[in-house]
Amino acid sequence: MNRPWFGGLAAVVGSCLVLTASSARAAGDPASAKSVDDVALSADQLASVTPLLGSRDGDGPKGMPEAASSSLPQFDTVVNFSDQFIANGVDSRNRPRTVWPYTMVGQPPQAHRKTVFNAPVIPVVLEMLDPNGNVAVASNGTVLRQLVTDEIVDATLRSPVFEPFSFTSGTGQLTEQLMRAEFWDRIRHDGDGDDGGGYRNVLRASQKRTRTMQVPFGSYAFALNPDGTCCFQVRVEVNTFINLLFPPTEGDRAFVIGAAQADRDITTRDISTFLFNAVYLFQGTVNNCCIVGFHSADVEAGDAANGNRTKLFMMDFSSWVPHHTFAFGFEDIAALSHEMSELVNDPLGNNPTPWWYAFDPRGGFICQNNLETGDVIEVLSGLPIFAATLNGRTYHIQNEAMLPWFALQTPSPARLGAYSFPDEKTLTRAAPAGVSARCANVTTPTSTF
């Protein structure tokens, strides 16, 4: 079954602050639309976004078993290690449990080794098709082709996700320093341990050739930029998007990931980013939006060359988010920072944890039982974003929960006794203890931050 495993869908609650000239009336159901103009988003639709916050079981999606306390030798994939933590909790059936295994990328922190991952960045142009199967044209003559500009690609590659930045834990890339901070009690700090040596997980980014995704009529809605060009925002039906992204078999050029595999732009040893521009996914109705990214793996059959081990191509879909699209400063690389941080901590989305919840009177409520570090923060209105100025640009990084938060550790063994990173003030205590399956016993949630 060569289908993706989904490690998490990043859902963002936001309000769009830009009124587009092309949005005089509301887009109806794209599936029943008759013309391109019928799927132009209205100002009200841009200003109101429904949160997509689902719960997940620790068993892992798409039939993936939960993480084991040993690494993944049966898979042909990125370097990884496994461990476990001890905490009181319950499983999905509300049965008591104390041992929680997890698998993460890289080598064990206590080994004090550096691991380098190739990190291909694949820009993806999105073309919206008309009812006749041609690239659509809006009523003002604009071709509906959403580009990922050179400026966006360059800004992404020069961001703290891929270039060193001075964090409180040291100078390095975001995920490198995130993992050092959360395993601070296990890593070496003498000699050059905190100065470029010791435990490191480094992403070696490189831009690969641009790919194109063509979305059929009836599966998208759009809003033009204020100047009438394409596009301030494109919304795509989530299942259509997934089916166009993932190939049925490895190397099938009709699909975005398959084409990248065929040209060897991505391999099973890489952490690959498929970068879009202002493309968000909806579920069911166009107003049930917006998924701005997810991390997953394309699963393919092994062959004699790799010992017949199942192949896992680790990847994330991340959308560059323009300024003034969502609330709380969620813009530019916020989605990428969320997905990359989760990918290194929970690469297959199958690291189980005690049931936890996050609550904010403004941002909402979320209940899960997996080690999805960004999901904890995304509903919080207090300090969800960390501003980082690098290479002449201010980037917006989503703060992340660290392992001690999920492991209910008090005090936290992470750097500075923190539970979140990069901003240690976002989470000031561990996850709530004693939460039952699906948070059924949480009748009056307390604020998480």
Token digits of residue 11: 């859902």
Cα(180)–Cα(188) distance, rounded to whole angstroms? 10
67 occurs within a structural domain = no
Pairing of strands 200-207, 80-90: unpaired
Is the pLDDT reported for residue 55 higher than 80?
Answer: no
Q: Is residue 125 part of a domain?
A: yes
**Within-domain flag for 373:** no
> Residue 28: pLDDT band by 50, 70, 90 thresholds?
low
Residue 399 belongs to some domain of the structure: no
CB-based contacts of 154, cutoff 8 Å, min separation 6 = none
Residues in the chain: 449
Instruction: Please report the beta strands in 246-384, taking only residues with DSSP state E, as ranges in sequence order.
Output: 271-277, 279-282, 289-300, 310-320, 352-360, 364-370
In a domain, 132, yes or no: yes
pLDDT at 347 over 90: yes
C-alpha gyration radius of the chain: 21
Say what the pLDDT of residue 6 is: 42
pLDDT above 90 (res 212): yes
Helix ranges (H only) for 18-72 are: 43-47
Looking at residues 69-88, what average pLDDT do you find? 87
Cβ pair 165, 175 in contact under 8 A: no
Which residues touch 93 (CB under 8 Å, ≥6 apart)? 437
For residue 162, being part of any structural domain is answered with yes
**Is 173 a domain residue?**
yes
Strands 352-360 and 80-90: unpaired
Residue 391 lies in a domain: no
Output the pTM of the full model. Answer: 0.91
Residue 191: per-residue pLDDT: 66
Task: Quote the CA–CA distance of 136 and 222 in Å, as a whole number.
Answer: 11
State mean pLDDT over 246-253. 98
Min mean pLDDT across 25-34, 267-276, 337-346, 407-416 is at 25-34
Residues 6+ apart with CB under 8 A from 190: none
Comparing 3-12, 112-121, 156-165, 249-258, the range with the smallest average pLDDT is 3-12
pLDDT of res. 3: 42
By residue range, what is the domain housing residue 229?
50-57+73-82+103-349+409-434
Half-sphere exposure of 14 (CA within 13 A, CB side): 27
DSSP 8-state symbol, 336? H
Mean pLDDT of all residues in 347-371: 92
* Residue pair 180/193 in contact by the 8 Å Cβ criterion: no
Query: Domain total for the chain?
Result: 1
Q: Tell which wins on pLDDT, 64 or 268.
A: 268
